[in-house]
A and B are shown apart, each in its own frame.
Chain A
Amino acid sequence: MPILEHPAYPPATLLCLESLVPCRESQVSMLLSIFGERQQLSFPSIFIYGHTSSGKTYVMKTLLNTLQLPHVFVNCVECFTSRLLLEEILIQLQNGSSETKQASPVPCDTFNDFVRLFKQALVSQNLQDQTVYVVLDRAEQLREMEANVLPAFLRLQELTDRNVTVILLSEIVWEMFRPNTGCFEPFILYFPDYSIGHLQKILSQNHPPEYSADFYSAYINILLGVFYMVCRDLKELQHLAALNFSKYCEPVVRREAKERDTRKLWKNIEPHLKKAMQTVYLREISSSQWERLQCEEEPGQIKGLSAHAHVELPYYSKFLLIAAYLASYNPVRTDKRFFLKHHGKIKKTNFMKKHEKTSNHLLGPKPFPLDRLLAILYSIVDNRVAPTANIFSQITSLVTLQLLSVVGNNDQLDGPRYKCTVSLDFIRAIARTVNFDIIKYLYDFL
């Protein structure tokens, strides 16, 4: 029973369209009824919003191409200035009906020229009696252009006095777009996110012909079970499904299990998927590296981009790093207590009591001047350290390794200020190698 029906378009085309847009039939049918027949007027502007990979761009493109409606499709991230955007629309209009792509850009600086040239282009392409659709993808970038671009597009039908409808696609809700003095409100349409059933249905459509559909759906089921709580993005899930399928099929290929031995297959694939979540999903390693790893017989150590295994540092550098960490995460007034031999008691003032709650580890590292770093260094290293150029160059190498970072600009008169950018686990590992108990010296752990 066909879901999409419309008197203006032949039922065969509509049936074809329906097969191309699974789980989006109600949105397509609403769009069809709003568009009406080819020459009928429609809303001057339509705003479609929905999550990433909820099918907005795909459905729009498929709909306009299948029904062969005259349209222009522009991505606002590609054409990031108003001039590029307007020229691209005009070029696509001119190239619309002709087979050969003429790359003759019409210079179009302002929206005023655009309105005039647009009307001329419609006449030259014989499109005056049909609705022309201008689709702007990633429309949130329109807010970054000049202030008149967005309101003018919303009113394009009125400004050009022609049968044109502008369609904006975006992830961000309309309330964030509305200009201060208001504008012509578009018709707002929501593309709901795919439910887990929908995702299952769409992903199972891609099954490779060598295996049965049931086998593949069982695999998709397992994949969704692991990833659904973290990711509902269809494109990401398709990518993960394609990458990991060969691993899933391994037991069947090696004749260790049959297609129906779900438990065995699950035990084989589940740890693999968990590892994928930490690496390929985060783009720590590329998909080609991942595939190579799957082919190897022994499971090797997967090193992501951010797994800095202990960088081997020289002795003084380790202490410099520890001193930097202490300087970043201890407030200045507590230095006396930790690093002097004879210190007095710290009076807990009202100020301190109120801010006891947020530990410094939550707020992030604070910047400190070079002098403080050296002072702490001298106090934590047992033997005497001479302030030679050696020490200073080690500080610079730490900055190059991005374990420290410079704060502020270079022309500060008081001297450079730094910030320590390593995590607690990392610094504890380093401190352990020099037998230094860093926890004793941290204010947050008192």
Chain B
Amino acid sequence: MNKRKLKESSGTDGECISQVQKVLRERLCHHHAMGKLFGMDQQYKHLLELLKQTAVHGESNSALIIGPRGSGKTALLNRALKDLREMKQVKGNLLEVHLNGLLQTNDKVALKEITRQLHLENVVGDKVFGSFAENLVFLLEALRKGDRTSSCPVLFVLDEFDLFVHHKNQTLLYNLFDISQSAQTPVTVIGLTCRQDILELLEKRVKSRFSHRRIYLMNSFAFKQYLRIFKEQLSLPAEFPDKVFAQKWNSNIQLLSEDRTVQDVLQNLFHYSKDLRSLHFLLMLALSNVTVRHPLITASDLQEASKQYRMDSKANIVHGLTVLEICLIIAMKHLNEVYEGEPFNFQMVYNEFQKFIQRKAHCMYNFEKPVVMKAFEHLLQLELVKPIERPSVYPNCPTDVKQWAASSLSWL
């Protein structure tokens, strides 16, 4: 009877643990889709107001959401859109087009994607348009339904906005902002970018049509709030099926957040980067250790995760080199010190190595030159040693021109 009881309890634990993993993994990995927002109330209100103006009152607008990577721009926007769609006045009345700078790498592709997302492929059919502007105006005209005097408001979301800036003539941006300024169709353009200097990248005519409305997300929380976020992100929600386990879990999390070692780990991470994405990574790593045998997260899990997260990768690679390769690296370091950073070639490194062998080495065998060359080539392959660029025919070349010359498949 005891065995059966144990089996039952471990059975429910297995189910339970699997449930816990599912809920928390979704929360940590899909934060951009449906995560809670922390420390962004003002920005949220501002954005929601803006979107409501377009959806409900038919005003055109444009805005940029600027913030470093992982600061929650997509999460903010998605949350605002979700709340907007649930509003009574907006239900079903808003058209959305989501573009991403990584996917739509030039304006033609972008236009096709817009057509597809507005479900207007049949309407466009095989028409050939003279210019981008004509095409876009045609699309927006086609959105007028029946006898409505104005069409549905359209919302354009441009993710990785700084990549659209590099398209030829910034045509897409110019046209979108142009339409948002002329009061024909209510259109809102929201761009999300990680570059703080995005406005300098816009051409003058594009910049003048932009409303210069910017929403900044600056990860501006203090450590106390960071700890609170840690607790909230790991706690199980109230709807969790196994209430007893949820209670145990949440009180464990409370204990963890008061534990000194855990606070040190979080403090370390906080000093390195404040954004929530790194915190989520750490929590995912600690969470992956949770199994039936180990049902609650412990402080040592978090410490292990932190160590894993902060490994020095170059040191790891150097750890795996052979003795001969280490000797070559030491020879190169000596050359760097003696000649103060002047470039060197293989013959010089080999000479240094020979000097060491002849004077000081007792246990190193004197290897043949081709064997040493093979070790040197291995270091080149690992990119621990890199050839310098020759000063070339055209000195004082500006760096972006030089880089453009070097790139063969440029999409600039």
Contacts and interface: CB of A to CB of B under 8 A. Distances in A.
A253 to B, nearest CB: 30
Interface in A139-166: 144-148, 151-152, 155, 157-159, 161
A7 interface: yes
What DSSP secondary structure best describes chain A's contact surface? loop
Contacts of A190: 311, 313, 316
Contact of A361 (B291, B347, B364): B347
B26 A41 contact: yes
B167 interface: no
Interface string B32-74: 1100000000000000000000000000000000001100001
Contacts of B285: 34, 187
A37 interface: yes
Nearest to B410: A147
Contacts of B371: 230, 277-278, 281-282
A40 B21 contact: yes
A384 to B, nearest CB: 37
A146 B105 contact: yes
B183 interface: no
Identify which of B30, B103, B324, B347 gathers the most chain A CB atoms within 10 Å of its CB.
B103
Given A145-B409, A147-B411, A190-B316, A159 B103 contact: yes
Given A230-B324, A230-B375, A111 B314 contact: no
B29 A306 contact: no
A82 B411 CA distance: 13
Identify which of B32, B102, B113, B382 gathers the most chain A CB atoms within 10 Å of its CB.
B102
Contact of A181 (B195, B322, B323): B195
A364 B104 CA distance: 49
Interface string B172-194: 00000000000000000000001
B29 A157 contact: yes
B105 A110 contact: yes
B319 A192 contact: yes
Given A146-B411, A192-B316, A155 B288 contact: no
Given A41-B29, A112-B113, A49 B320 contact: no
A269 B381 CA distance: 32
Given A33-B289, A193-B319, A174 B347 contact: no
Contacts of B281: 43, 185, 187
A445 to B, nearest CB: 15
Interface residues of B, number: 64
A278 B368 contact: yes
Contact of B383 (A176, A232, A284, A357): A176
Contacts of B113: 112
Given A7-B292, A230-B324, A231-B322, A110 B109 contact: yes
A42 B411 contact: no
Contact of A232 (B30, B316, B320): B320
B351 interface: yes
Interface string A40-56: 11111000011100100
Interface in B276-292: 277-278, 281, 284-285, 288-289, 291-292
Contacts of A192: 316, 319-320
Nearest to B105: A148
A145 B411 CA distance: 10
Given A146-B105, A229-B365, A33 B322 contact: no
B123 interface: no
Contacts of A363: 345, 347
Contact of A155 (B33, B102, B368): B102
B394 interface: no
A364 B374 contact: no
A406 interface: no
A33 B33 CA distance: 24
Contacts of A110: 103, 105, 109
B7 to A, nearest CB: 14
A111 B322 CA distance: 41
A357 B335 CA distance: 12
A43 B370 contact: no
Contacts of B29: 41-44, 157
Contacts of B296: none
Nearest to A157: B29
B105 A364 contact: no
Contacts of B365: 229
B163 interface: yes
B277 A51 contact: no
B22 A49 contact: no
A434 interface: no
Contacts of B383: 172-173, 176
A43 B102 contact: no
A171 interface: yes
A256 B284 CA distance: 62
Contacts of B109: 110, 112
Contact of B14 (A7, A158, A185, A282): A7
11 contacts: A33-B291, A34-B288, A40-B21, A40-B25, A144-B409, A148-B411, A172-B383, A175-B314, A185-B278, A229-B324, A232-B320
Given A171-B381, A361-B347, 12 more contacts: A33-B289, A41-B29, A111-B102, A111-B103, A151-B102, A152-B103, A182-B194, A187-B284, A190-B313, A230-B371, A281-B374, A358-B348
